[in-house]
Structure 1
């Protein structure tokens, strides 16, 4: 069965972005090391520690499709039509953005609901995982019982305010399984299975 796996960088106090949607502080670890991890997009390379490089390479090899919300897609300018992991991306939205759909793109906007977007991403991923970005979309999938695992790249930072990773989780309290832990430089990679009833 294709797993749906959320992954986000997050500050120690639970924020994934500042109040203006800025993510520089929580994404600093992607560019703070001396090991190059190229992405599918030419000219876009991560520079991380050896431990984080191993973590990122494994993650990119696991992901067969991406799922995200409109806000994240807009911030990334729909990745220019191709997600950096080189896989199809499905964006949950209420309305098709201007200029879409476009030919020769691997970014698909899904307007008929979250369940449809998850089903399309799973079909595209095949025997790999569906990766997920975006705190609101992650929360919706968690509330709907569609999420199998949560991976958090925890950075040693206190933002104090901003956009929370787990704001208004509907079925809280929710107990997760024991984590796996990878210690990077400027980041700790945590992976928690979502326990199903």
Structure 2
């Protein structure tokens, strides 16, 4: 069965995006997608702000595509707003339906969670299985935090370099 993975790049001080969701900070560090990861992804679970957001591959051949064009497959966007239909994208209004649909589509592969708020919701709902943190050598100082949540610490167990399992 599919597992939910929150894989993200972040600044050393813990931001995945700059103020207002700005992703341009990542452009100088964007290279080829990690093929070993993208081959293991069967579906994406994406937050609406991330889906509508800034693209670090702007003005390049991979603009508007997952992982800069390094991955293709079904995307499930969690949203409460109306959305324009897009090929390969399903818009869903609640987390349980979005998780269920993404897991079914992913089969035995990962559902990659994109977006800090959706990742937080998955963590709080107890459905996030693993975290892959890819730190980038920059200090942003402000922006969208990797996780913004109130509550007790969440224990993680290392399963590899920068890769962690969420302990239940």
For residue 171 of structure 1, report the CA deviation from its aligned partner. 4.0
What is the aligned counterpart of 2:118 among 132, 137, 140? 137
Structure 1 segments of 4 or more deviating over 3 A? none
Say if 1:27 and 1:149 are closer, same or farther in 2 by CA, change over 3 A. farther
> Which structure has more RCO (C-alpha within 8 Å, separation ≥ 6)?
2
**Structure 1, unpaired ranges of 5+:** 32-45, 47-52, 182-189
Residue 92 of structure 2 is aligned to residue 110 of structure 1: yes
Provide the residue aligned with 2:58 in structure 1.
none
Secondary structure of 1:146's counterpart equals coil
Distance in 1 (alpha carbons) for counterparts of 2:135 and 2:156: 16
Report the 3-state secondary structure (helix = DSSP H, G, I; strand = E; otherwise coil) of the residue aligned with 2:21.
coil
| Contact 2:24–2:54 (Cα < 8 Å) also in 1 | no
**Which residue in 1 is equivalent to 2:165?**
193
Q: Structure 2 stretches of 5 or more lacking a match?
A: 56-62
TM-score (norm 1): 0.74
Aligned to 1:68: 46
Root-mean-square deviation (Å):
1.8
Does structure 1 residue 172 correspond to structure 2 residue 146? no
The answer to whether the 8 Å contact 2:23/2:54 transfers is no
Larger radius of gyration: 1
Match of 1:101 in 2: 85
Find the residue that maps to 1:124 and give its secondary structure. helix
TM-score normalized by structure 2?
Answer: 0.86
Q: Which residue of 1 aligns with 2:140?
A: 159
Report the counterpart of residue 38 of structure 1 in structure 2: none
Alpha-carbon contact 2:158-2:165 (below 8 Å) kept: yes
Count residues in correspondence: 158
- In 2, distance between residues paired with 1:29 and 1:59? 17
